Structures are given as structure tokens and as C-alpha cells.
Chains A and B, each alone.
Chain A
Amino acid sequence: MPHAYPFLTPEQKKELSDIAQKIVAPGKGILAADESTGSVAKRFQSINTENTEENRRLYRQLLFTADDRINPCVGGVIFFHETLYQKTDDGKLFPQVIKDRGMVVGIKVDKGVVPLAGTNGETTTQGLDGLYERCAQYKKDGADFAKWRCVLKITPTTPSRLAIIENANVLARYASICQMVRDGGHHGIVPIVEPEILPDGDHDLKRCQYVTEKVLAAVYKALSDHHVYLEGTLLKPNMVTAGHSCSHKYTAQEIAMATVTALRRTVPPAVPGITFLSGGQSEEEASVNLNAMNQCPLHRPWALTFSYGRALQASALKTWAGKKENGKACQEEFIKRALANNQASIGKYASKGEGGAAAGESLFVANHAY
């Protein structure tokens, strides 16, 4: 029986929603710099750089100390645990560097995927044990938001009903715990909810849209059941795209229309912002697609912006190549993508070879087709 046992005071709610709004303020998005040690290994290997703690520190330092041109572009940065306690060459803790620039510090809190027995290779995500205590400590250490990634995949037999409800439930538990966190006078960590549907496969755009709608409907039902305060959350979904091996290629406008339609059908207007993951997209693709989202003629009551890892860092990483003398050039590449996505998040990105905003709009198909 619905009896309300409120656990958030008005002040606590305000703190959560203020944080969320700050992250997705107009023109701003998130730098996802939370690659685990294992993920960094893969990135560094591609640029022939040794995966040492010092190299990870040097690389993140380059990103965090890029010049003021990124200030209007970056609302928040997601950290990996190790990085939260690393310092600049001058001995300043990284979270402090980010905070001093007016950006919000976030922390990845999940502990990776684990298999769901009896399914076709599907997973849930672990990390709930002691999560409250870990989050309280992260809040003390400067974090104001968190991120938790669940993973689903599209095949003829997946995602299964179990995978959908289990991942939705664990996301809701995580979100609820984050919002409860207290640290003395400070309250609340804004949970970014990430139900990623992988782009692997040969399915078409429609199939992805359909699955995305079902997954997001389940996620928001679970958030409601767990009494999560939506105004103090963010969503980090996949864009709706065809599978990587799908033979048909879709335009940015088709991707935008399918994505925005799916979101309009499932994400309540109370959610302040939707920060897309870039998945396997190239830097340019991710910017062009985000731009098309923000030019879509369908009404969008939430901010549509970015939470990009590779799509902000790929060129920067390559340019750095692990060499100190490439530092400035590396930062220039990062700044370039930050500015591009800043423009894309307000629908004003003019990439090379693309027409202006007016040319793009004519490519949108009427929404009833979706």
C-alpha cells in the first residue's frame, strides 16, 4: 500500500536537483574520464604507452588542466577511484582542480558486470554491498555525482525479461542509495543511471528503438518503485542506432528521430538531463548525432547532452602518444572536441561537409513513422 515515508527533506531535494542542473547547464556535458585500470590498458596499448599509475596520472592531468576554453563545455567529470586521489605536479588533488573550475566531480561506483545464470550470456552489475559507506566517503572526498553502468544486448533472444527487470532493479537500488548519502552538513550524490544497450549485432534501427523503449520503461518503473527523486538524477543511455553489422546505414537525422521518440515515450519530464554515451562512435559521429538530436523537431523537455569518453579523448590520446612534449597538442585536440560537443548540445554544430541547420531539418521524417 502506498504510504509515503519521506526520506529526503526539501533542502536535500534542492541540493540534488541543483547539482543535476549544474552538470547539464546549457552548452555543458560530461567528460567521462572513469576508464578502469583495465580499460586504460587497452587505450595505452594502442599508443604504445606503458600502463603505469604515473602515466595514467599524467594523462588525466593533461585533460583536467586544459585551458579555460573548456569551462563553458564541461559541467562534470566522471572519475575512476584511483584518479580521485591523484594530484597535479604541484600537489593539488584532482577533484579540487575540477571543482575550482566550476565543474562537478563524479565517481564511478559500480564493480563491473557479472553473469546471469540461465540466460544467453546476459549480465547484471555488482557493487551494492557497502555502497552507502563508499558513497559517504566519496562525498567527503569531493564527489557530488556517481555513475553506474548496466549492460544489455540485442540478439534474437535478448534482452530477456529477466535481464531487463534485474538491471532496472539494481540501477534503482544504486540510485536510491546515492540519494540517501549524508556527510555531516552535506547531502546527496546525484546518481547517473546508465542502462547501456550495446550496438553489437545486425539489427536495424527500429529494433533498437523498440528495445530501448522497453528497457527505459522498466528503468523508470523501477525508479518509481524505489522512490527515487527524479529531479535529482540524470540518465546516460545509448543513442538509438542500428547494430554495427547492419547492412543499412542511417543518417544522423534518422538516429536523432528514433532516439528522441524513444526518450519522449519513456523518460519523464522531471528528469533534468539526458547525457548520451558515445559507445563505439567516432568523435565526429558522436558530435554530429548529438547535434541532430538538438535540432529534432520533436519537443524535448530535458537537456540532451553528452557524457563522452572515447568521443572526447580519442584524438587527444593519439596525439599525446605518451610523450611529454606532445602535451599542448594533446590538450588542443581535447579542447576541439569539447567545443564541438558544446555546440552540438545546443544544436549549433556545423561540422565540415555538413550544411547549416536549415539543410539538416529537411532530412527529418515525420515522427509518426517511428
Chain B
Amino acid sequence: VKFSRREWALTPSPYPSLSPEQKQELATIAQRIVAPGKGILAADESTGTMAKRLQKINVENTEENRRYFRDLLFSVDPSISQHVGGVIFFHETLYQKSDKGVLFPKVVKDKGIVVGIKVDKGTAGLNGTDGETTTQGLDGLSERCAQYKKDGCDFAKWRCVLKIAHGCPSPLAIAENANVLARYASICQQNGLVPIVEPEILPDGDHDLQRCQYVTEKVLAAVYKALSDHHVYLEGTLLKPNMVTAGHSCPRKYTPQEVAMATVTALRRTVPAAVPGICFLSGGQSEEEASLNLNAMNQTPLHRPWKLTFSYGRALQASALAAWKGQPANKQAAQEAFFTRAKINSLASKGEYKPTGQVDKAASQSLYTASYVY
């Protein structure tokens, strides 16, 4: 059946944006990243962000120090690939080499891990809002993606930021960020990159768990409507959301089971089953908190049709950084610290993490409140 240009403009157009082969490639990449027991190492800290990390351990923010630390992470034992399905790179790192002179993407790929790249260009203010932002980086994105694909990348990441406050997130912030995420995702897929969609709702504030859940549901509903409007192939995407938590200054403290129930409920109401995996950001959580919460997600008594795993930066690297302190002598200790967190999060992604000193699964299940409360 043929459709005229006018028909195409008026109706849901059947013009295919991806061939079956392109779809298969994208879906295969996405599934590899979130294969059982695997998650993502977010090593894409920008130069500015690395400055903050290195300053904390009194290390100078030089290109060589950044290279050294990433090399430390990427050159751990190859069995890391049982726990890490993908690594997100920052642009600079993609063209740096290991101590042995091998380009980092190759080091990572040779371990059977998928290479990803942060492609956004940071936030930009939305006029007329209470300090809300959108994210820029769409200009020339297609060409940049094509080059990244040539240089070894198979997935990309783009971070949008929303906040909870009086009047926030506003309808504009929600709609604009959802739209820019969908444009980014569409462009990535045209260039063979799986887009990780990251609509982060910051944990700043004194709001309770319920409020965060409500906002998360509204934001994710808008994101998936935008992805549909932009004809994004969901089976070839991943989602990187915040967990549903109370604000940092909320006086009430919630258990990992409550965090898990609120999060999984919100995701069940908004994320279509076609999405292969949800890789949580760790935000301001400690390493242990991030692992306990992820573990609780995977023990929630609600049906979860997507993988629930990690895409952690600080929550995988904090101990390693602290152990390294910029001293080559500490390299092995730092690597062990990283490997330990990777193994723990791998277990957490299967709901099998048993921290010492914790009661067993049967006892902790009684902490769940029935789902209808949420």
C-alpha cells in the first residue's frame, strides 16, 4: 500500500526508521550490556568532575592521572566481564591508551565488555523556570555518533536533570527534557548506538518517598510518550533512572525494602516491558547503600519484566579512589576494591547479595509493605 506525502503527514506514518538488521543489532547490544549478573561501570566523569574526585584524594587533575586511574580500572582481571557488561567513557578517555599502549576501547572490548560514550554537552537553563534545565548536545550529534561507532562504541549516554521543589519539576521541564532525550535516542539508533536514556530526578530536598515516586511516575510517563512519538525502537534502548528515594533532608528514613517497593512500583507503571534493562544511577548514595538498594529491588515481590541492574560511577569507584591516593604502590589494592564492589553489585543485580551481619532473605521479606499502599 502506497502513502502520499500528505497522508504521511496526517497519520501515524509507517515510514520505517530502522531496518530489521539495524533493530537486531541494537537489541543484541542492549541485551549484552544487561546480561544476567552484569551492569555498567560509569567511568564517564568529565574533566571538571574528575577534578572534584581527584581533589578529595589530593591528586592533581592531569591528563596522565586521569589516564592512570582509568587504566587501573580497565586492566583488572578479565573475569570482571562476568560483572560488568558495559563501560561508559568520556570523550578524552576513548582516545587514551593503557600502560602497554593499547587504546582503552580495545582493552575493554577484548574483555568482552561493550564500550559506551557520554554524548551530551551538559545542562542549559530554561528561562522562566525556577532554575530548571534542559540538556544540550544535539547539534552535529549524528556525525559525532557515526565517528564514535567507528572508534569502537556501541552505546551512548545522555543525562537530563530534574529537581523536586515547590513548583518543580514544571510541565515545561518535564516536556522539554523528555523531548530532548527522545531526539538524542532517535539519532543514536540511526547510527547503530544503543541510547541509554537518563532522566535523573535529583535527591536534593526534604520531600518524602511518596512525593519522589509520584514525580518519577510523571516524568517517566512523559519520557516514554516522547520516545513513542519519536519512533524510538524500545528494544534497543536502556533506561538509567534515579531510584525512588526521599530527599536528602527528609527527616524520615526509609528501608531498602521501602525504596525498592516504591521504585519498582513506579517503573511497573511507566516502563514498557519491551525495554530490556533498567540500570540505576547511584546519585549521592554510598557504595553499600547503592548495593543494598539494588539488591532489595531484585527481591521485591512484584513482577519485573526488565533487568534491574546498576550503572554506577561513585558507587563503584569511591573505595578504589580512596585506596589509590595517587600512589602506584596502591594500584593492586585499588583494583581489588573496585573488583569487590563490582562483584557485590553483580550479586545485587540478581537479588543474591548477603552482606555479613545482615539477616537472611526470609527475615527481610517481612519488611515489605503490601504493594497497594503505593
A interface residues with partner B (beta carbon < 8 Å): 1-4, 10-11, 13-14, 17, 156-161, 164, 202-204, 206-207, 210-211, 213-214, 217-218, 220-221, 224-225, 230-231, 261, 264-270, 299-301, 366-369
Contacts and interface: CB of A to CB of B under 8 A. Distances in A.
A261 to B, nearest CB: 7
Contacts of A17: 372
25 contacts: A2-B215, A10-B373, A14-B370, A156-B3, A156-B4, A157-B11, A207-B14, A217-B228, A221-B221, A224-B221, A225-B221, A264-B272, A264-B273, A265-B228, A265-B272, A265-B274, A267-B273, A268-B271, A269-B268, A269-B271, A269-B305, A301-B303, A366-B24, A368-B20, A368-B27
B32 to A, nearest CB: 14
Contacts of A268: 268-272
Contact of B235 (A4, A204, A220, A367): A367
Contacts of A157: 6-7, 10-11
Contacts of A301: 273, 303, 305
Interface residues of B, number: 49
B10 A269 contact: no
Contact of A2 (B169, B229, B273): B169
Contacts of B12: 159, 164, 210-211, 214
Interface in B237-286: 265, 268-274
Residue of A202, A221, A299 with most partner-chain B CB within 10 A: A221
A156 B235 contact: no
Given A160-B10, A161-B10, A221-B221, 17 more contacts: A2-B174, A4-B211, A10-B372, A10-B373, A157-B11, A210-B13, A211-B11, A220-B225, A225-B221, A231-B372, A261-B274, A268-B271, A268-B272, A269-B268, A299-B273, A367-B235, A369-B20
A365 B255 CA distance: 44
B168 A210 contact: no
A263 B222 CA distance: 18
Contacts of A13: 372-373
Contacts of B13: 210
A301 B171 CA distance: 30
Nearest to B303: A301
B14 A266 contact: no
A242 to B, nearest CB: 10
Contacts of B222: 221
Given A17-B372, A217-B224, A270 B7 contact: no
B177 to A, nearest CB: 13
A368 B210 contact: no
B217 interface: yes
Nearest to B166: A1
A221 B215 CA distance: 14
Contacts of A3: 214
A11 B370 CA distance: 11
A35 to B, nearest CB: 31
Contacts of A156: 1, 3-4, 7, 11
B211 A270 contact: no
B274 A264 contact: yes
B10 A1 contact: no
B234 interface: yes
A267 B265 CA distance: 14
Contacts of B371: 231
Given A13-B372, A204-B1, A269-B268, A2 B11 contact: no
Contacts of B167: 1
B218 interface: yes
A368 B211 contact: no
Nearest to B265: A270
Contacts of A269: 268, 271, 273, 303-305
A214 B274 contact: no
A231 B222 CA distance: 19
Given A156-B3, A160-B10, A368 B23 contact: yes
Contacts of B271: 268-269
A160 B11 contact: yes
Contact of A266 (B3, B217, B269, B272): B272
Given A157-B10, A207-B1, A368-B24, A4 B210 contact: yes
Contact of B170 (A1, A11, A231): A1
Interface in B304-326: 304-305
Nearest to A213: B228
Nearest to B214: A4
A14 B370 CA distance: 9
Contacts of B214: 2-4
Nearest to A161: B10
Nearest to B222: A221
A206 B24 contact: no
A234 to B, nearest CB: 15
Interface in B158-177: 167-171, 174
A2 B1 contact: no
A210 B14 contact: yes
Nearest to B15: A210
Contacts of A299: 273, 305
B372 to A, nearest CB: 4
A268 to B, nearest CB: 5
Given A10-B372, A269-B273, A368-B23, A224 B218 contact: yes
B50 to A, nearest CB: 34
B118 to A, nearest CB: 27
A238 B170 CA distance: 36
A1 B273 CA distance: 28
Contacts of A203: 1
A202 B215 contact: no
B272 A202 contact: no
Contacts of A202: 1
Contacts of B171: 1
B168 A1 contact: yes
A268 B272 CA distance: 5
Nearest to B270: A268
A129 B12 CA distance: 31
Contacts of B273: 264, 267, 269, 299-301
Contacts of A231: 371-372
Nearest to B22: A368
A224 B228 contact: no
A301 to B, nearest CB: 4
Contacts of A206: 14
Contacts of B305: 269, 299, 301
Residue of B170, B171, B235, B271 with most partner-chain A CB within 10 A: B235
Residue of A159, A231, A267 with most partner-chain B CB within 10 A: A231
A160 B3 CA distance: 14
Contacts of B235: 265, 367-368
Contacts of B7: 156-157
